[in-house]
């Protein structure tokens, strides 16, 4: 039985990936390692927690002693590394934890993985490491676009990418790096644009749109991201970077209006607020390299949003628990309304 370590498996994308792997590969044992920050919760795994091929390990990836002990006890075959501080707005207010977790934590994991000769280390990164594009619709991020991160979050992810790359060049470690566009789907933490909009619209509360709402993101359903990582894990050429995206560019205003419309509410809920500092104009991925490896997304933006809105309608308990807790303090500090 192959042993797979998934870091950050209590979060949004890692959580979906853990479910995907436990269900798809009964012969793999999936270890979910997570320190359970504000963004991590295990209730999302109530359907798989009793499975024989699933285990949870509570640990901080930046704790070298603990991580090295865990790797000495379990000889993992593969590491899929999601654990990170992931929210740009939080990185603007408190950058330090992003450096500790995203940069140092990645290096600690690489050392531990190297010490037991893992067969593959997949580092899950982001298209935000490339910086921003202008509004010319014919320009895209490719794997050869120079890294030019603009936020403390994207700078910390770019730093970790560079370290992962260096471990390939220096130690010949079997790595891949994936750089994905904005994800959405079930279990997305309601600090990010799509789940924030859905939860607020459902409660008839104002939706904060930064600046003029014309910034563009390229949206990918989380299930399509999971299948991309599965493919890269099994078929990715060692040392290579793969961009993941599905050509679903929308302005933020279009995204918010689509959700309001799907929930039959009024656009009066939109509240334009002060712009984010250093707000990247546009992200757009060219996924040709991954498509050549055999990947195709199954959702487009319309089908994906419909599925996601329905999921939030059917799982109010999950997000209501979150927005009634510490999240209130965060929201008040971030938005002043």
List, by residue number, the catalytic residues: 127-128, 153
How far is Cα 328 from Cα 302, in angstroms, rounded to an integer?
A: 30
Binds 107: which of ligand TYD, ligand NAD, none (CB < 5-8 Å by kind)? none
Asked if 196 touches ligand TYD (CB under 6 A), the answer is: yes
Asked if 39 touches ligand TYD (CB under 6 A), the answer is: no
Q: What is the CA radius of gyration of the chain?
A: 19
Asked if 102 touches ligand TYD (CB under 6 A), the answer is: no
Coil, strand or helix: which one is 207? strand
Asked if 280 touches ligand NAD (CB under 6 A), the answer is: no
Q: Return the structure tokens found at 115.
A: 């010490």
Binds 160: which of ligand NAD, ligand TYD, none (CB < 5-8 Å by kind)? none
Nearest to 269 by CA among 206, 331, 177: 206
**Contact set for ligand TYD, span 247-286 (CB under 6 A):** 252, 276
The number of residues that bind ligand NAD (CB under 6 A) is: 30
Asked if 8 touches ligand NAD (CB under 6 A), the answer is: yes
Coil, strand or helix: which one is 325? coil
∠ CA(187), CA(191), CA(192), 5° rounding?
75
Asked if 290 touches ligand TYD (CB under 6 A), the answer is: no
Of 33 and 196, which has the nearer Cβ to ligand TYD?
A: 196
Q: Which stretch binds ligand TYD (CB under 6 A): 12-20, 31-39, 192-200, 295-303?
A: 192-200
**Count of positions (residues) in the chain:** 337
Q: Which stretch binds ligand NAD (CB under 6 A): 175-183, 198-206, 262-270, 326-334?
A: 175-183
Asked if 228 touches ligand NAD (CB under 6 A), the answer is: no
Q: How far is CA 313 from CA 287, 318, 319, in A?
A: 31, 10, 10
Beta carbons within 8 Å of 113's beta carbon, 6+ residues apart: 71, 76, 79, 121, 173
Q: Are 224 and 246 in contact (CB under 8 A)?
A: yes
Residues of the shown chain interacting with ligand NAD in the complex, contacts defined by CB under 6 A = 7-8, 10-14, 34-37, 39-40, 60-62, 82-86, 101, 105, 124, 126, 157, 180, 182-183, 189
């Amino acid at each position: 039985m192959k042993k797979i370590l998934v870091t950050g498996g209590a979060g949004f994308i890692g959580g979906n990936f853990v479910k995907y792997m436990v269900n798809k590969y009964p012969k793999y044992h999936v270890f979910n390692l997570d320190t359970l920050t504000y963004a991590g919760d295990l209730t999302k795994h109530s359907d798989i927690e009793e499975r024989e091929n699933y285990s949870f390990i509570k640990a901080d990836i930046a704790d070298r002693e603990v991580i090295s002990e865990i790797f000495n006890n379990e000889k993992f075959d593969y590491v899929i590394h999601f654990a990170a501080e992931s929210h740009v707005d939080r990185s603007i207010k408190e950058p330090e934890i992003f450096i500790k977790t995203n940069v140092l934590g990645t290096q600690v994991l690489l050392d531990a993985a190297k010490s037991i000769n893992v067969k593959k280390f997949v580092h899950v990164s982001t298209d935000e490491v490339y910086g921003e594009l202008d509004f010319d619709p014919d320009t895209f991020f490719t794997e050869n676009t120079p890294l030019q991160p603009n936020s403390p979050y994207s700078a910390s992810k770019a730093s970790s990418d560079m370290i992962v790359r260096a471990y390939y060049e220096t130690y010949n470690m079997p790595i891949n790096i994936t750089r994905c566009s904005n994800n959405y789907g079930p279990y997305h933490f309601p600090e990010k644009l799509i789940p924030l909009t859905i939860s607020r619209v459902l409660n008839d509360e104002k939706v904060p749109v930064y600046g003029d709402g014309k910034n563009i993101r390229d949206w990918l359903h989380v299930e399509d991201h999971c299948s991309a990582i599965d493919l890269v894990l099994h078929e990715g050429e060692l040392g290579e970077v793969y961009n993941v995206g599905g050509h679903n560019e929308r302005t933020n205003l279009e995204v918010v209006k689509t959700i309001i419309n799907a929930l039959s509410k009024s656009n009066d809920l939109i509240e334009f607020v002060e712009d984010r500092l250093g707000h990247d104009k546009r992200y757009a991925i060219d996924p040709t390299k991954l498509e050549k490896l055999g990947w195709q997304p199954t959702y487009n933006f319309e089908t994906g949003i419909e599925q996601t809105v329905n999921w939030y309608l059917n799982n109010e308990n999950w997000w209501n628990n979150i927005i009634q807790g510490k999240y209130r303090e965060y929201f008040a500090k971030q938005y002043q309304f």
